[in-house]
Amino acid sequence: MLWHQFPSPIVCLAPMAGVTDWAFRQLLCELGKPDIMFTEFISVAGLCSDGRKELLKDMQFSASEQPLVVQFFGRNPDQFRSAANLAAELGFSGIDINAGCPDRAVQRQGAGAMLLKEPHLIPAIAKAIRDETPAIPLSIKVRVGYEQEDELDELLPYLQEALPEAITFHWRTRRQVYKGKANWNLAEKVVTFFSGEARNRIKLIGNGDIQSIREGEILCKRYGLDGFMIGRAAWAMPWLFGQLPANPSPQTRIGIMLRHLELFQEFCPQKNFVHFRRFVKSYISGFTGAREMRVELLRQPAPEAFRKVSQQFCEKLPAC
């Protein structure tokens, strides 16, 4: 059982569209990776359509990334059943149901956080996946409500009925998106609800605003959770799970960025170079001249020019 093989707290990389792709996960394998990583979220409707071929590229991975969980979004149990069968064929370590994404494009499909408005669909989807692939560990990622936190009371019984191996709670509502602070105090209600046999079976994971491994460990101990998931902080600091200091030198940051670029070209050749630019601020910030360097890098039209400008800036830094 995937989620029961790790000591507490279990450390997870959150699924993030446009971020946790094959190249990023490979980078983490080199820098230091968490216990469990997730793919970008993938549409089950897309996998059952003519767009399947393109989406299959987003499901490629290497053995070094295991255990790797694929996250699916959608609302049709039969489509989840088909996607689960594919996940089994490809060898993923687990399947995760996205029931919390606040992205409007996902919600327009009645998926992601829209499942919070129809929570009865969650156990139906879980059953479809389990019927098709009973051997693959199933998990669910949710928010605490669509509009209000008190919606959590209605949601919890449906999550218990789904009987996943793990549930990740982002401690915000869909309405908040990423505004305000994640309300970790809601973990007390969740831990109280899942007691007895359900508590032994289901691992409870917390998510929202964690900036370091140490902070995640403290929160898990405080609230009695089994693990934590880090998203945006890992995007901003890909070295977060490894042994590097929280604020590496400019030279180290540039070196990691150029290595990431190599991996992007190797593992994501189907993606336009513009997709890589979203990572520039992660690497080029927090040091003198960073803003000017970012501006210049974002002007570069191709990897070769980007690499050349990076090296030129690096040569101007002390002891580079």
Query: Residue ranges of the domains in the chain?
Result: 2-236, 250-316
Partners of residue 94 on adjacent β-strands: 69
**Would you place residue 196 in the very low, low, confident or very high pLDDT band (cuts 50, 70, 90)?**
confident
174-188 tens-digit pLDDT: 999 999 999 999 999
pLDDT above 90 as % of the chain: 91
pTM: 0.95
254-291 tens-digit pLDDT: 999 999 999 999 999 989 999 999 999 999 998 999 99
Mean pLDDT score, 293-298: 96
**Which pLDDT score is estimated for 23?**
97
Residue 138 in tokens: 């199933």
101 is catalytic: yes
Question: Which of 12, 48, 101, 220 is flagged as catalytic?
Answer: 101
**Which pLDDT score is estimated for 319?**
64
pLDDT above 70 as % of the chain: 99
Mean pLDDT score, 50-59: 88
**Which pLDDT score is estimated for 95?**
99
**Which pLDDT score is estimated for 200?**
87
Would you say domain 2-236 falls under CATH 3.30.70.260? Answer: no
**Which pLDDT score is estimated for 50?**
84
Q: Is the pLDDT score of 198 beyond 90?
A: no
Cα 59 from Cα 19, distance rounded (Å): 14
**Would you place residue 201 in the very low, low, confident or very high pLDDT band (cuts 50, 70, 90)?**
very high
Mean pLDDT score, 119-144: 98
6-15 tens-digit pLDDT: 999 999 999 9
**Which pLDDT score is estimated for 132?**
95
**Would you place residue 197 in the very low, low, confident or very high pLDDT band (cuts 50, 70, 90)?**
confident
